[in-house]
Amino acid sequence: MENNHVTKLLPEYLDNTLSKEDKEKVRKHIADCIQCKLEHDEMNILFKAFENEPISVPTESLTAKFDKALQQEKMETSKVIPISSEKKKIGWASNMLKVAASIALLVASFQMGRFLQQEKSNEDIAILLDETLQVKQTAMLSLMENQSASKRIQGVNYIEEFPNPDEAIVKALANRLLHDENDNVRLNAFEALSRFATSPTVKQAFIEALDIEKNPSIQIAIIQSLVKIQEKKAAAPMKKLLEQEDTQPFVRNEIELALPKII
């Protein structure tokens, strides 16, 4: 292509897409150059032909088919549940929660285990204590039946181990108080029982003992104990003692002092 000719620029010139300078250049050149003028005119004819070329239109079914395909695609995509993006956002917080929850679970189960263990050992200790008490009771009851007076005293003194002695022990002690041949054993039994003077069994035992007791020191102790608990039923055996001839004078004296306090 010749240097000065503008054939290369002609399409753009006709399309009116050239810059102002280029456009001016082409316009001037065409005015002078016959060759390029011809080229321009011919190209113009061709471009006119392009403009006049009928544009064919696709049938309606193309649009319909496209719509159908689009609807189908929408149906298929709506079935897909997007999870990727949201999952990342909550990841951090939920992980922390998970860690916290597992720590809490660990601590809770540890504490629970400890508590259960403690409860079990408490139970064991309670059973053991119960067992020792039973052993002691058996020992106490058997000691009280011993031939030796000192052993019997030892058995009676076991009462201190029982804060709440059961009926069997109280009965055994009352038995000692009423029927033991040894004064010391009776006195010890009385002392042991006096701690539970409010019990009806004990009261009954005291009243009975007052009836049959010959030892003046025990008699006086019983009288004082009965006065202390204000036992009305004791009045009768006391009066009986007053009437008896073999009653010691100081015992008599004690009863005379005690009777008005009861009645």
Partner 1 sequence: MEELSDEIVMQKVAAGNLDLLKVLFDRHHRHVYNFLYKMSGDKMLSEDLTQDVFYKIIKYRSSYKNGSFVAWLFTIARNDLKTHFTRVHKNHEDIDAVDYKKVENQEDRSEEHSHLQNALNKLDATDRELVILNRFQEIRYNELAEITGSTPGAIKTRMSRALKKLKRIYLENI
- Does 53 participate in binding partner 1 (rule CB under 8 A)? yes
Alpha helices in the chain (DSSP H): 10-15, 20-32, 34-52, 60-79, 84-144, 149-157, 167-179, 183-194, 200-212, 216-228, 235-243, 249-262
Give the one residue of 67, 123, 161, 211 binding partner 1; rule: CB under 8 A. 67
Rounded to whole angstroms, the Cα distance separating 202 from 229 reads 11
Q: Please choose, from the candidates 259, 195, 251, the residue with its C-alpha nearest in 3D space to the C-alpha of residue 227.
A: 259
Listed in sequence order, the residues at least 6 apart from 152 whose beta carbon sits closer than 8 Å to its beta carbon are 143, 144, 145, 146, 176, 180, 182, 185
- Residue 79 binds partner 1, judged by CB under 8 A: no
Binding-site member from 31, 55, 81, 93 for partner 1 (CB under 8 A): 55
Q: Is the dihedral of CA 90, 92, 94, 97 positive or negative?
A: negative
DSSP state of 173: H
Using a 10 angstrom Cβ sphere, with 0-12 exposed, 13-18 middle and 19 or more buried, the burial of residue 208 is middle
Site for partner 1 in 7-46 (CB under 8 A): 7-8, 10-11, 42-43, 45-46
The site for partner 1, by CB under 8 A, has a size of 29
Count of residues in the chain: 263
**Choice from 24, 35, 73, 101 touching partner 1 (CB under 8 A):** 73
Contact by Cβ (8 Å): 177, 191 = no
Region binding partner 1 by CB under 8 A among candidate stretches 51-59, 122-130, 146-154, 218-226: 51-59
Contact status: 147 vs partner 1 (CB under 8 A): no
Q: Which of 16, 77, 85, 164 binds partner 1 (CB under 8 A)?
A: 77
Q: Which residue from 37, 65, 114, 240 is in contact with partner 1, where contact means CB under 8 A?
A: 65
Figure out which of the listed residues 34, 57, 81, 263 binds partner 1, where binding follows CB under 8 A.
57
Counting Cα atoms < 13 Å in the Cβ hemisphere of 137 gives 17
CB of 82 to partner 1, least distance (A): 8
Select 12 or 183, whichever has its Cβ closest to partner 1: 12
Cα four-point dihedral sign 13, 15, 16, 21: negative
Minimum distance from residue 24 beta carbon to partner 1 (Å):
20
Least distance to partner 1, CB of residue 28, Å: 20
* Closest separation in Å from C-beta 111 to partner 1: 51
Candidate segments 4-12, 97-105, 127-135, 243-251, binder of partner 1 by CB under 8 A = 4-12
Q: How many CA atoms lie within 13 A of 168 on its CB side?
A: 10
User: Which residues lie near partner 1 (CB under 8 A)?
Assistant: 7-8, 10-11, 42-43, 45-47, 49-50, 53-59, 61-63, 65-67, 69-70, 73-74, 77
